[in-house]
Amino acid sequence: MVSVVDTWAKQSRFVRELRDRALVVRRDVAMVARDLRGTRPPPFHERVASRREAHAQHTLAARSVRVVECVHETDDAVSLVLEDLRGAPFVFRPGQFFTVCVRVRGELVRRAYSASSSALEPSRLRLTVKRVPDGLVSNLLNELHEEAARGSRLELLGPSGDFIPSPSTTPRTLLLVAGGSGITPHLSILHTLLVREPQTRFVLIDGNRKEQDILFRAELDALSRQYPNRIHISYVLESPTDSWGGGVGVLDQATFLKELDRSEIRQGESVEALLCGPDAMMQAVRAALLSRGWDARRIREERFFASHAPRSNERDQSTPHRMTVIHQGISRDIAVLPNQTLLEAGVASGVAMPYSCALGGCGACKVKCVEGNVVMSEPNCLLDKERNDGYVLACVSFAASSVRVELP
Ligand SMILES: Cc1cc2nc3c(=O)[nH]c(=O)nc-3n(C[C@H](O)[C@H](O)[C@H](O)COP(=O)(O)OP(=O)(O)OC[C@H]3O[C@@H](n4cnc5c(N)ncnc54)[C@H](O)[C@@H]3O)c2cc1C
Ligand code: FES
């Protein structure tokens, strides 16, 4: 009897597999056909993954979301408005980012995008992506056709990050300095705190190359009209036209200080500065503020860095390694497969490893490596002191030998 049931089970599994494969083939043929017609769906459209891919894709607990709007804001920036497939709210603090997981040519890649929408409207989340020359994901997303993208699904991790203004109930000014796509967290901060903190005043200095590059100009100007006494906005352009009446120049120390002086921040006022943009701009603005006697603790920065995996010669791509995870005095041995991060290996084996962004940007997955060698994707958010103390970020670390790690 048992063997009959076994045989029947095997046969029906075989039939199911054949049916699944037929579905995949039908789908692939349809995709090629759409390719030929030039209507290929975006890369994050649902696709039937192989067993191994499906496992890798769902190892980390990403939530599934649907694109409800896709808006080309400028020639090189697109906003995706997202809804959770189960209707769950997006609970985040203004200034935080989410991790978008997309599959490009069969590879799962993750990128961070700051929320650009208000945290007070959690039923929808807006992420805005500016093209980076030769960038893999930013260019794919910017090539999306508005109609075709609507309804497509993608996977999201987060929210993550601590680029969050400290809460305040007393009068103060927030100085927001943005360069290019660095406006996204600031826009979320403005939308949220203009409503939530009636005592806070905002000064935004927004640097761009040319007028057409200014992201969310209409939205920012509308906020300015709605709250005339609470926002001061300076747009600064590197290459303005003759008719431009705003600030001019690269946002270096001199240009920034000129704009700061126009913003009427009063001496002795309680001010916190949040900077987000290219490194050179943030360094110049920080130096300028320090030269004016600002306390370094009141200056915060968000880097839109992209972490890159170690080169293949630096990481052992052929051999699985053993990882011993120690937590609250209990140790457990698990296997780390080639190309798997310590985090993916741990979570796949059911170890409750903490994480949030899964791309080296938040520090939530920090573990202490007490034995063995790992190689990490760089740059990442680990501090020098943490490195020296033996900490690694499990989400971007690959085992280069057997390793022993301690969870916090
Ligand atoms: C916390 C955080 C929040 C972010 N929020 C946003 C956001 O709201 N909007 C947004 O558009 N981007 C944001 N980014 C950047 C984003 O995550 C990607 O790095 C960016 O979209 C490039 O990805 P890509 O796949 O196109 O480029 P990749 O294929 O990863 O990189 C291609 C090349 O571009 C360079 N590069 C990568 N990123 C940048 C960059 N930001 N500036 C200049 N050169 C770069 C790389 O060094 C590489 O040479 C954020 C990054 C972080 C860490
Ligand atoms: S989970 Fe954010 S750094 Fe690893």
- Give pTM, 2 decimals: 0.83
Whether 150 is covered by a domain: the verdict is: yes
Do the domain assignments include residue 165?
no
The CATH number assigned to the domain holding 342 equals 3.10.20.30
Q: Indicate if 115 and 93 belong to the same structural domain.
A: yes
| Domain end among 252, 269, 302 | 302
Count of domains observed in the chain: 4
User: Is 19 found in the same domain as 126?
Assistant: no
What would the two tokens of residue 408 be?
A: 């916090």
Same structural domain for residues 254 and 364? no
Same structural domain, 121 and 66: yes
Distance 357 CA to ligand 1 centre (A): 14
pLDDT recorded at residue 267: 66
Q: Domain end: 136, 160, 184, which one?
A: 160
| Domain coverage including residue 14 | 1-40
Same domain assignment for residues 180 and 270? yes
List residues near ligand 1 (CB under 6 A): 97, 111-114, 128-130, 132, 134-139, 161, 181, 184, 302, 304-306, 361
pLDDT of 311 reads 64
Of the three residues 138, 160, 182, the one that is the final residue of a domain is: 160
For residue 312, what pLDDT is reported? 60
pLDDT for the residue 3? 37
Residue-wise pLDDT for 103-129, tens only, equals 888 778 889 999 999 999 999 999 999
Statement to judge: residues 296 and 393 lie in one domain: no
Q: How many CB atoms lie within 10 A of CB 223?
A: 20
Q: What is the pLDDT of residue 316?
A: 65
Domain contains 134 = yes
Residue 336: the pLDDT is 95
Measured in Å, residue 304 CA sits from the centre of ligand 2 at 15
- Assess whether 153 and 261 both reside in one domain: no
Do both 194 and 287 map to the same domain? yes
Q: How far apart are CA 97 and CA 115, in angstroms?
A: 6
Same domain, 153 and 242: no
H helical segments located in 197-298: 217-226, 253-262, 279-291
89 located within any domain: yes
pLDDT of residue 14: 37
Q: What percent of the chain is predicted at pLDDT more than 70?
A: 83
Residue 18 covered by a domain:
yes
Residues 225 and 339 in one domain: no
Query: How high is the pLDDT of residue 9?
Result: 40
Is 372 strand, coil or helix?
coil
Classify residue 46: in a domain, yes or no. no
- Quick check: is 177 in a domain? yes
Tokens of 379: 């740059």
Q: How many Å apart are CA 252 and CA 237, to the nearest integer?
A: 12
Q: Are residue 89 and residue 176 in the same domain, yes or no?
A: no
pLDDT of residue 39: 34
The whole-number pLDDT of residue 298 equals 93
Q: Residue 378 forms beta bridges with which residues?
A: 308
- Note whether residue 385 is domain-resident: yes
Residues 28 and 110 in one domain: no
Q: Where are the alpha helices (DSSP H) in 100-182?
A: 136-142, 146-149
From the CA of 179, the nearest ligand is 1
Taking only the tens place, the pLDDT of each residue in 321-360 is 999 999 999 999 999 998 899 999 999 999 999 998 988 9
In this structure, what CATH number is given to the domain that contains residue 235?
3.40.50.80
Counting from 1 in the atom list of ligand 1, the atom nearest the Cα of 163 is 1
pLDDT in tens, the chain (408 residues): 333 334 334 444 433 443 443 333 343 333 333 333 333 333 332 222 333 333 333 468 899 999 999 999 999 999 999 999 999 999 999 999 999 998 888 778 889 999 999 999 999 999 999 999 999 999 999 998 888 889 999 999 999 999 999 988 889 999 999 999 999 999 999 999 999 999 999 999 999 999 999 999 999 999 999 999 999 999 999 999 999 999 999 999 999 999 999 997 876 678 999 999 999 999 999 999 999 999 999 999 998 876 677 766 666 667 899 999 999 999 999 999 988 999 999 999 999 999 989 889 889 999 999 999 999 998 888 989 999 999 999 999 999 999 999 998
369 within 8 A of 403, measured Cβ to Cβ: yes
Instruction: Give the whole-angstrom CA distance, residue 80 versus residue 116.
Output: 10
Gap from CA of 80 to ligand 1 centroid (Å): 16
Dist. CA 390–CA 180, nearest whole Å: 36
Best probe residue, ligand 1, of 138, 183, 276, 396 (max atoms within 8 Å of C-beta): 138
The 3-state DSSP class for residue 61 equals coil
